[in-house]
Amino acid sequence: MSRHILLLLVFGFYFCTRSSAQRIDNSSVFKTVSSPSYFRIQYDNDYFTRTDCYYTQGIEFEYVNSILKKFPISRLLLKPRRGEMRYGISIDHVAYTPTSTSSNQILYGDRPFAACLSLKTFALATDSSRRRRISSALIAGVIGPSAGGQEMQTTIHRWLNNPLPKGWQYQIQNDLILNYQVNYEKELLNLSNIFSLNSANELRIGTLNDKVSGGFSFLLGKFFDPYRSIGKSKTRGKWSYYLYGNPQLSLIAYDASLQGGVFDHQSAYTIPASAISRVSFQGNYGIVVSISSIYLEYCQSYLTREFDTGKYHRWGGVRIGISF
C-alpha cells in the first residue's frame, strides 16, 4: 500500500512540474466549503503568470443551496443511493486568444479566438462512510460572439490603458453548448486531516468537449474533513489552511474552442482534428485558507500543448467565498 502511494506521489509531482486548457472544477474535494449553503466568486487570468494568450480569462459565480434541489434541471443529475446531497448553480464566462492580439490577420498555426458563456447546474453527493464523492453537472450555453469575449477583453484593456485587442472577428462562431460532466473522487489515505490523498476521475460528453481524465489530488496542512457530513460539521470560528496539488492525465476526443462548434461550420479559422493533441497533462496547485465562514484561495495551473503547433501555458486564479 505505502509503495503504491509513493509511486502516485512521484508521478503527480512530475506532471505538476511539466503539465487542454481548462479551469479547475469547483466540485473537487480540495475546494470543499464546509457549509450547506455558500456563494463563491472565481477569477482566472494568465496575467498572474505574466502571459496573455490561450486561456486568457475565466469568471465564475457559484451558488450552493438546498433550495436548488427543486430546480427542474436538477432532476437530470446523478443521485447515488448513499451520500449527502448538495445542489448548486454557476454562471461561467471564459475567453481564449492566440499568442498575439496585435494582428488583424488570422495567425495560422496558433489558437483561435473563442469565448464561452454558460449556466451550470450541479450536484455533489458525499458518502462519508465510503470516503468518496460523486458529482455531476449539466452545462448549457453558447460559444461564439454572443458570449461577449471581445467586449469583455476590450473593456479590460481600456481599464488598464493597454492596446486594444485585434483579431476577434475571426473567433469561433456561435454554436450551442450542451455538456454533461461526471466526477468521481475516492480517498486513498488520510493522516489526521493533515495529509489527504485522493483519486480524481472525470468524464465530459457533449458539444463543448468530449474527454476523460484521471489523476489524483492531495491536501497538506490543517483542513476540515472534506468527506464529513456537512450537517455535522461545526467550523464556525475555526481556521483551516492547506496546500493542494492535482495532476491529471486527459484523453481528448473533441474541443469546440479549438475545432469549432458541432452545428456551425462557418468559423474563419479552426484547428483541424488531425492536429489536436489527444493526450494532455494538467497540473493544478494552490493554497486555501478558511476563516469561519470565509473561503480564500490562490492557485496556478500548468498545461501541455493542446495542438501540434501550440505551446505550454500557465495561468493563475483567485477564489473568494462566503458560507451562510
pLDDT digits (tens, 9 = 90+) for 71-110: 999 999 999 988 999 999 999 999 999 999 999 999 999 9
Helix (H, G, I), strand (E, B) or coil at 260: coil
> What are the two backbone dihedrals, phi and then psi, of residue 280, each rounded to the nearest 5 degrees?
-140, 160
pLDDT computed for residue 19 by the predictor: 35
pLDDT in tens, 23-48: 567 789 999 998 999 999 999 988 88
pLDDT in tens, 244-272: 999 999 999 999 999 999 999 999 999 99
Domain covering 2-323 in this structure, CATH number: 2.40.128.140
Torsion sign across C-alpha atoms 220, 245, 117, 167: positive
> How far is 238 from 291, CA to CA, in rounded Å?
6
Q: How many alpha carbons lie under 13 Å from residue 124 in its C-beta half-sphere?
A: 30
pLDDT computed for residue 49 by the predictor: 85
pTM (predicted TM-score): 0.88
pLDDT computed for residue 14 by the predictor: 36
pLDDT tens across the length of the chain (324 residues): 444 433 333 333 333 333 344 556 778 999 999 899 999 999 998 888 888 789 989 999 999 999 999 999 999 999 998 899 999 999 999 999 999 999 999 999 999 999 999 999 999 999 999 999 999 999 999 999 999 999 999 998 899 898 899 999 999 999 999 999 999 999 999 999 999 999 999 999 999 999 999 999 999 999 999 999 886 666 666 899 999 999 999 999 999 999 999 999 999 999 999 999 999 999 999 999 999 899 999 999 999 999 999 999 999 999 999 998
C-alpha cell at 86: 448538495
> What are the two backbone dihedrals, phi and then psi, of residue 319, each rounded to the nearest 5 degrees?
-135, 135
Extents of the domains making up the chain = 2-323
Query: 58 near 44, Cβ under 8 Å?
Result: yes
pLDDT computed for residue 236 by the predictor: 63
